[in-house]
Structure 1
Amino acid sequence: MKVIASSIRKGNVIEQDGKLYVVVSAENIHPGKGTPVSQIEMRRISDGVKISERYKTTDQVEKATIEERNYTYLYEDQDGFHFMNPETYDQVQVPKDVVGTQAAYLQENMTVKLSMHDTNPVSIALPQRVTLEVVETEPVTKGQTASSSYKPAVLSNGVRTGVPPHITVGTRIVVMTEDGSYCERAKD
């Protein structure tokens, strides 16, 4: 299916020269003078090579047909990550380079959206937020209640983030999976 380059977004899959590419980042640039362009960074699905392309915003780009389905995360081994289709109980193995840095936020039985081309997983979308426990942070400083500064903390998945001063070790917090930033204290 052909679409204009300016409509391409992160996570889309593009077919170019007979190969499939997953979009890592897409930016529309409108210079003061000249033609607006779409700067698209892509990763070739077959071998993981990253390329950067620049299209005029009105150029036609071939968008691959992708099927998105919910899958349940099972486990990780040396071959990659294993997911199960909750309807058919079919298991799918996803290579580590497809999951990428999002691997730190995967939790057992988490429901994720897998994008498949034919039977090959090409990209993964995690829930926006995930609840994790703070395993290491600085102690609470008395009287520092109205401060807007964050202190460093290490979460149970090993990711470092900034948390408000009132958060202590053992506190469960909600973080954004996109960038690991603190959202709120968990309500459980």
Structure 2
Amino acid sequence: MDSETFEEVMVESNTIEDSKKWISEGMECDLVFFKGNVIEVMTPSPYVYEVVETEPNVKGNTAQGYTKPAVLDCGATVNVPGFVEQGSKIKVDTQNGEYMERV
């Protein structure tokens, strides 16, 4: 939806395929138009997400740089350090899909 005119903009599924996993509800994305058609959807990078699912922290694993997979509120999965817990907010670089820091 255009935030100024409140008009809805249709985007074809093959156009959004690369960035679909990073889009969450309420996120403002930039659309690139060419001849009136959307050719690219650009998600903000970095962006803050909430960890909705990850395995619990195990004592002693922080010394070796232990990482584990975490599912974010947008549905994407990223590797995070062992100290990140469920419910934490983290900053993720959406261009390369990597954890940056805990917020």
Smaller-chain TM-score range?
Answer: 0.7 to 0.9
Structure 2 counterpart of 1:77 = none
Identity %: 36
Q: In the aligned structure 2, how far is the partner of 1:170 from the partner of 1:96?
A: 30
Q: Which of residues 40, 55, 60 in structure 2 aligns to 1:138?
A: 55
Q: Which of residues 145, 150, 167 in structure 1 aligns to 2:84?
A: 167
Number of matched pairs: 103
| Deviation per residue, 1:65-98 (Å, 9 max, x gap) | xxxxxxxxxxxxxxxxxxx222233321111110
- Unaligned stretches of 5+ in structure 2? none
Q: In the aligned structure 2, how far is the partner of 1:108 from the partner of 1:136?
A: 18
The answer to whether structure 1 residue 180 and structure 2 residue 97 are counterparts is yes
Q: Which of residues 71, 74, 90 in structure 2 aligns to 1:157?
A: 74
TM-score normalised per structure 2:
0.84
The answer to whether structure 1 residue 101 and structure 2 residue 28 are counterparts is no
SS at match of 2:15: helix
Structure 2 counterpart of 1:112 = 29
Question: RCO (CA 8 Å, sep 6+): is it higher in 1 or 2?
Answer: 2
Given that residues 24 and 73 in structure 2 are in contact (C-alpha distance below 8 angstroms), is that contact kept between their aligned partners in structure 1? no
How far has the Cα of 1:145 moved from its partner? 2.9
Q: In the aligned structure 2, how far is the partner of 1:88 from the partner of 1:163?
A: 39
How far has the Cα of 1:177 moved from its partner? 1.1
Residues 93, 162 of structure 1: CA spacing in aligned structure 2 closer, same or farther, 3 A cutoff? same
Q: CA RMSD in A?
A: 1.7
How far has the Cα of 1:168 moved from its partner? 1.0
SS at match of 1:93: coil
Q: Which has the higher strand share?
A: 1
Letter in 2 for 1:161: V
Letter in 2 for 1:185: R
Residues 154, 107 of structure 1: CA spacing in aligned structure 2 closer, same or farther, 3 A cutoff? closer
Q: In the aligned structure 2, how far is the partner of 1:135 from the partner of 1:86?
A: 28
How far has the Cα of 1:122 moved from its partner? 0.9
Letter in 2 for 1:156: D
- Which is greater in Rg? 1
SS at match of 1:163: strand
